[in-house]
């Protein structure tokens, strides 16, 4: 089955360049030239990745991300000419999974898309209709009091309510939950989750930990699950 991408970008030349290249890569492409049209397109179909520019008419990219996050955990890649740490942290803070700076190479954005799809893809074991319940064994379903984490289906619930985690948030949560009591430094978290060398980019880590705590903790400022070890890193206390 072909993966479907939604590209929301007001530069027609960039749209055409991406569309021509990514269609040759085997993707089905939908496009929108402004934020409002992008939201409309998103509501009409199911997409595997959304690529969104920040500066757009009618509705900017940050507002588009906020609206998408209200209804979906689909991977979102920001594509922007703004390359400051503040801009990146803002994008991640509102729920983006990745950030690519213009100008970019087509090979790079293709690799980012593949990585986003790989992280978000559900890897469920084959099961017949008669043993569906058996596929949720204790190896795949982690339960911490009111918090449940399904490692196979990349979902988490609190009090039976879907937390609608982004791909990055789920990766961080599953890394912690499957390594209880282990201390992770910020550099280790960055290298495990972003698969890149760490350059003291604390803001990215801080924003994702804060957003994750807001979803899983009763009191994010006094967390029960993700503990901060000042000057060292974080540890799962579930």
DSSP state of 125: P
| pLDDT at 231 exceeding the cut of 90 | no
* Residue 109: φ, ψ to 5°: -65, -30
**Is residue 171 over pLDDT 50?**
yes
Q: Write down the architecture of domain 4-120 according to CATH.
A: 3-Layer(aba) Sandwich (3.40)
pLDDT at 118: 80
Banded model confidence at residue 193, pLDDT cuts 50, 70, 90: confident
Q: What is the mean pLDDT of residues 39-59?
A: 92
Mean per-residue pLDDT, 230-237: 91
The CATH number for 136-236, chosen from 3.40.605.10, 1.10.10.10, 2.40.30.10, 3.20.20.140, is 1.10.10.10
Compute the distance between CA of residue 202 and CA of residue 211 in angstroms, rounded to an integer.
14
Our CA angle for 62, 65, 71, nearest 5°, is: 150
Task: Tell me which DSSP letter residue 26 carries.
Answer: T
Does 128 have pLDDT greater than 70? no
pLDDT of 223 strictly over 70? yes
Look up residue 156 and give its two tokens: 């988490």
* pTM reported for the whole predicted model: 0.60
Residues 63-98 have pLDDT tens digits of 999 999 888 888 999 999 887 878 888 888 888 888
In the chain, which residues fall in CATH 1.10.10.10?
Answer: 136-236
> Lowest-confidence range among 118-127, 158-167, 184-193?
118-127
């Amino acid at each position: 089955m072909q993966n479907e991408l939604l590209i929301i970008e007001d530069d027609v030349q960039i749209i055409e360049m991406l569309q021509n290249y990514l269609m040759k890569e085997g993707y089905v492409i939908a496009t929108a030239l402004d934020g409002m049209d992008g939201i409309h397109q998103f509501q009409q179909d199911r997409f595997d990745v959304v690529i969104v520019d920040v500066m757009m008419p009618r509705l900017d990219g940050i507002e588009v991300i906020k609206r998408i996050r209200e209804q979906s955990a689909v991977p979102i890649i920001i594509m922007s000419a703004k390359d400051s740490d503040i801009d990146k942290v803002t994008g991640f803070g509102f729920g983006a999974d990745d950030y690519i700076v213009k100008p970019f190479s087509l090979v790079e954005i293709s690799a980012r898309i593949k990585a986003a799809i790989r992280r978000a893809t559900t890897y469920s074991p084959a099961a017949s209709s008669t043993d569906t319940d058996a596929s949720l064994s204790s190896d795949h379903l982690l339960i911490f009091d009111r918090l449940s984490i399904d490692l196979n289906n990349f979902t988490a619930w609190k009090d039976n309510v879907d937390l609608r985690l982004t791909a990055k948030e789920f990766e961080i949560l599953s890394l912690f939950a499957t390594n209880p009591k282990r201390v992770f430094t910020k550099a280790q978290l960055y290298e495990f989750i972003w698969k890149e060398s760490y350059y003291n980019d604390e803001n990215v880590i801080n924003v994702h930990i804060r957003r994750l705590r807001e979803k899983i903790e009763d009191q994010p400022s006094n967390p029960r699950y993700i503990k901060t070890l000042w000057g060292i890193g974080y540890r799962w206390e579930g």
